[in-house]
Amino acid sequence: MLKFTAEHEWLELDGDVATVGITTYAVEQLGDLVFVELPEVGKSFAKNDDAATVESVKAASEVYCPLDGEITAVNEAIVADPSLINSDPQGAGWFFKLKLKNPADADGLLDEAAYKELTA
């Protein structure tokens, strides 16, 4: 199940673990990405904390933690090749996996229809 935030992160939920990345819309706004900084595995974040950083030829931007939780994995492939995010933002361009403190909190995020309305 996919969920979205108003800050342009997407989450793919699998039980109490969410795979997190930035949306196609966010990538289109940023342009070609040239640098990514990911959080450390094992680090805990609260909702809306700065969890990662992306830099494009246009600007730098924070990637926010969409919900409270602990980082269980990061995608080192996007550090080595940030263009993976441009070519497949909602697939191979994922940023991190987050073990959710309270999985029910995901119910408060946007579904795909609501996110499309937000970005229309």
* 47-87 tens-digit pLDDT: 999 999 999 988 899 999 999 999 999 999 999 999 999 99
Rounded to 5 degrees, what angle do the CA atoms 7, 28, 49 make?
25
- pTM across the whole model: 0.96
The pLDDT value recorded for residue 70 is 98
d(CA 43, CA 73): 10
pLDDT in tens, 85-99: 999 999 999 999 999
Q: Which domains does the chain have, with CATH numbers?
A: 1-101 (2.40.50.100)
